[in-house]
Amino acid sequence: MLLNIPIYIATHKDSAGVTIYSARPLFHSQPRSEGAELHRVLGKLSDRLRRDTAERARSDRHDTLLDWHDSADYQGRIAKLHLDLGHRSCRLKLLLVEVQRYGQRFGFSPSLSKLWFDLQAHEPITQRATEVFQQHLREVLKESPDFDPQVHSLSQSAWIDAVSVAIPLGRAQAATDANALMAALSGNAATDGAEELQTVGRCLSWLDVDDLAQPIDLDTEVQLLLDRMKVDDRQPVALVGPAGSGKTAIIEGAVRQRKRLSKGAPSLRGQVWQISPARLISGMSYLGQWESRVLAILKHCSRKDHVLYIDDFLGLFQAGRTRDSSMAVADLLRAQLDRLPVRIVTEMTAEAWAVLREKDRVLADRFFVIRTEAMDTARSLRVLLGVQRQLESKHRCEFELDVLSETLGLYERFVRDAVLPGKAAAALTRLAARHTRGKPITREAAVDEFRARSGLSRSIIDLRKRLTREDIATAVSEHILGQHAAVEALADRILLTAARMNDVTRPIGTFLLLGPTGVGKTQTAKWLANYLFGEDGLIRLDMNELSSPGSVARLVGTFDNPDGLLTAAVRRKPHAVLLLDEIEKAHPAVLDVLLQVLGEARLTDARGRVADFSGTLILMTSNLGARESLSQAGFASQQQTRSAIHHRAARSFFRPEFFNRIDGLLDYGALDPGTIRDILHKQLQEVLTRDGLARRRLVVDVDPRTIDRVAAEGFNPRLGARAVRRRLERDLVNPTSRALAEMRFEQTALVRIVDGDAGLQTNVYPLEDAQPSAESDAEWTPQQVLGQATDYLAAATDAISHAPVQLEAGGSAISTEMLESLAIREAEVEAREAVEQLRQAMPDDRLDRPPALDTHAGGLGFRYEPPDRSTMRQLQAIDDIQDYFREAVQQVPQTELDAAAKRVRQLVARLQNLMDARGSVSRLRLVAASYGDSVQFLPVKNPGDTELRLLRAVFGDENWDLDRRTFSDFLQAVCETYLQQHEQLQPDAIRPQDSPYHGWEMLLESPLIEALVQPLVGSYLLIGSDGRMTLAVVSSETIPAEPPAVRFILHSEGPLIDLRGGTVIKERLSQHALLRLLSGAVPALPQQPPS
């Protein structure tokens, strides 16, 4: 039955200014379809209408279809109506529809679809619509005065169209679910083939023309397929060729041609349905149920002359098989083809076709074979140019000129499991589908898309990226310690791949890693996988699990279970490091299978699917010759002797045809104590990133002597790094976990692991906030500050000596007491000048004098206002530290008068500090210690230009030295600069402190030196962008046993906070920003007169 359904189409603009089409049935509100392309909108609506009406057609009553079908004469026109609504008027833009039915005229608007009105002969529809809508909206406004009539108005255009839907009329199915179940169990159930086909299949004939592939330069193959789809004998057709050669495009192109020949008229015959074996049996749970479904579909397709496009024909041999039945869909299809001839089209690779012929020669001989071949580069380029033009038109995008050549080069070079042009066309399609409207698709986007799919490092796939052998060797040597020969060989292979000079018909490289246990062979594979292919770039097979004769089946799969360990993994991840661990333990039959992998970089599974190994780096580890080489320790030419032993053992173990396919043998020697210590240090950094430490907001500090002790006690040349790893877990990780389990979770703390007299000890020191020093006068007005400072200076006059300077007898030196007196006098003068400036700036109402400084808010300052809970405890309860600080830092309006009052407070407090320090030492040692600083402040060993500029900006030094990279070094530079700029002090000596922690010390000599260094003394808590923390303590003479309360909190991304003074610098951490924080502290005014 053919239904003619009128539809209503309207347009509007979205937020980006793109025209959006909306379509629905004229007399129903659903289904509805919307989109930017009209033909796609209509295609989706037609599909939904087809499904809805087909469901109604299967019901026991067909009169409901009359609500959808309508052959009346419709006329639509856009009208602008002026409506008088009483107290206001409005203009509505509406589509008015005139219907002529049963000799009468009716009118309505889809915007107000419930309001129909009759029309007299020759009566204008606009006049009648104005009267009806005006009366209706007046009544609506009486009930809802806030109602806006403009919601009914069209924003752009609208019109009426129609779609034709062909549906089958089946007999009524009135059986209940219970009756249906009993019928299924008894074998008497009647199955509707059309319904089952719609359930499991996808009708390509229903798709919009633009949703079907338009093959280019494949006209001969398309026409041949079209001819075979018309022959009377209904011979099955198989398209055989490599993946990417255009088989699917040929099938969709044939469907596209059939639709064009039918001129869009829907038909219930000759449709093309795509089905898959898994869908055929999905939902089937009773014996014989899937057989009934398949038979019903075959009968229906035979009767309607439909074409079944089976996308995985070999899957039919497995679909339907269970523990209790060996019958598959292929068996049923073979038996029924003679009685129920059905047009079948399938596609497969040459390898899969060979499997089919081997599996069922009789069934394979029924097929007419159409061969497709890979295209050469020139022909592929022509096809891809056509594909690119199609995509630009379909997706309204634009490809830059070099996108096509880059895509073609990448997929031709790195993707070998498919051929051109298919693999490159699929990449262009993905780029077009994901493009941002208004922006061209660039070469960088093509490289990024390939990188995301392959996992390959950008330095490998992008020829414009500069990559030197030194860069590669440095990166490898930082993670593979103590194995120089292996590092050199791997660096050469990576560079060869990056230069695209390796043989693409073989794996990237095949290496046999020989050496004793625990020397880094497996670690080499893990790191290379991450470096070249990303986090998931490792495929690991333990060959000791493949030592039985049946291991080959596990490796490559069987026909019934085709996903083998190796083939399935490489198909999922064709670009990866393939680690064959302990290769000597594999069964000889497994090694025979690997010959094809090492030689031709391909392996075919039991279903003819080819796994491509040309993008894999194959590493095989072995302990062959390790025991003999370790016994040679201490002899001359040890390395040459060890290497010869390893090579001789490998050559004697493997057969020549296998050994000759190996690109290189990498010799791994036993690790020396120095390398063991470096490895232990790296393992310790990994421990510090574990969740139990990272989530607790802890400062973890490990005494370097502890690392030396663990490395020395865990060193065993025969066991390598694994013995040290066990020692690390036993001596460091386990005691730390016990200490953390006894600690309160909400407390931020310093955890120190030290080497004491009683052995290794774990000490936990809770961290507290430094108490604010200016709470009592923090809210004072400038007038209050002026009064308090004036009173203090008046009382201080008598306590400050103003005696003239006297030289010591017999010399020209000034006594220490006199130097102190001079420093205090200078501080007093500065304080009095600041007070006088503040007094002059104050407004005087009696003299009607304007203020000398602006008293209005001319800028913003920042103040740290945390919740009642201390900051050190609050850190444990928050997820994002930086967001917490942003919320706790409040903006405070600041005037020039406020700045003058702040300077008065600073200078008066400095005067008090100097007076309190009278008679103290004039020579002082400023010392610093840092905890948790083993993780470097900015971990860049070989920075490029960009990183170097960043480092110099942070340190505030254009001549910044690459050796100064820890937080301790950074703090030393800040303290030295502060003393030079603010106190005109030059340290006599600066040298690293000889202590079990990172630190330094400065020797300073000056009167009142204790007061001068007070702004620097305290604990500094550095919080990195990743949440890791470092604690530094600056003190005079000695470092306290327990860290003092935290005074400064420094987030690497900002802000910087002085908990004692309340000062906040809302900038990223840098030398300049920290100097501003130290010099901008606002101390409390002295409350007692000086003595």
Residue 516: name the closest of 415, 590, 594, 627 by CA. Answer: 627
Q: Say how far apart CA 237 and CA 221 lie, in whole Å.
A: 12
What local confidence, expressed as pLDDT, does residue 190 receive?
63
Looking at 3.40.50.720, 1.10.8.60, 1.10.10.10, 3.90.1640.30, the CATH number of the domain 673-764 comes to: 1.10.8.60
- Considering the entire predicted model, what is its pTM? 0.73
CB 509 within 8 Å of CB 660: no
Per-domain residue ranges for the chain? 2-166, 190-371, 377-454, 469-667, 673-764, 767-1091
Q: In the prediction, which pLDDT does 1084 show?
A: 66
Do 673-764 and 377-454 fall under one CATH topology? yes
Question: What is the dihedral sign for C-alpha 961, 963, 967, 973?
Answer: negative
| Sheet of 616-622, strand order | 538-542, 576-581, 616-622, 509-514, 664-667
d(CA 667, CA 524): 12
Query: What single letter denotes the amino acid at residue 956?
Result: G
Q: 3-state SS string over 687-729?
A: HHCCHHHHCCCCEEEECHHHHHHHHHHHCCCCCCHHHHHHHHH
Quote the tokens at residue 943: 């920075």
Asked if residues 275 and 310 have their Cβ atoms less than 8 Å apart, the reply is yes
Residue whose entry in the numeric block shows the structure tokens 């003239």:
804
Separation of alpha carbons 9 and 162, rounded Å: 10
Among positive and negative, which fits the CA dihedral 555, 561, 567, 573? Answer: negative
Angstrom CA distances, 398 to 386, 395, 471, stand at 13, 9, 37
DSSP-derived 3-state class of residue 39: helix
Question: Which parts of the chain have pLDDT scores under 70?
Answer: 71-72, 169-190, 264-265, 632-640, 745, 773-779, 801, 803-813, 844-861, 867-869, 893, 934-965, 993-998, 1082-1085, 1087-1091
Question: How far is Cα 317 from Cα 326, in angstroms, rounded to an integer?
Answer: 10
Q: Tell me whether strands 509-514 and 538-542 are parallel, antiparallel or unpaired.
A: unpaired
Q: Are the C-beta atoms of residues 951 and 940 closer than 8 Å to each other?
A: yes
- Confirm if 346 and 340 have CB atoms less than 8 A apart: no
Tokens of 69: 């079908």
The pLDDT value given to residue 685: 79
pLDDT of 807 reads 56
> What topology is assigned to 377-454 in CATH?
Helicase, Ruva Protein; domain 3 (1.10.8)
Name the DSSP class of 769: B
What torsion do the CA atoms of 739, 743, 745, 750 make, to the nearest 10 degrees? Answer: -70
Q: What is the CATH number of domain 190-371?
A: 3.40.50.300
CA proximity to 260, closest of 311, 308, 214: 214
d(Cα 150, Cα 967) in Å, to the nearest integer? 65
Q: Which residue type, as a one-letter code, is found at position 287?
A: L
CATH class of 469-667: alpha beta
Secondary structure E strands in 696-824: 699-702, 749-756, 759-766
Q: Please write the tens of the pLDDT for every residue from 313-361.
A: 999 999 999 888 889 999 999 999 888 899 999 999 999 999 999 999 9
Rounded to whole angstroms, the Cα distance separating 410 from 753 reads 51
Strand partners of residue 510: 618
Among candidates 76, 8, 1, which has minimal Cα distance to 42? 8
User: What backbone phi and psi angles, to 5 degrees, belong to 1046?
Assistant: -70, 125
- Give the single-character DSSP code of 612: E
pLDDT of amino acid 304: 93
Distance (Å, rounded) from C-alpha 494 to C-alpha 512?
16
* Residue 350: per-residue pLDDT: 95
What is the model's pLDDT at position 748?
86
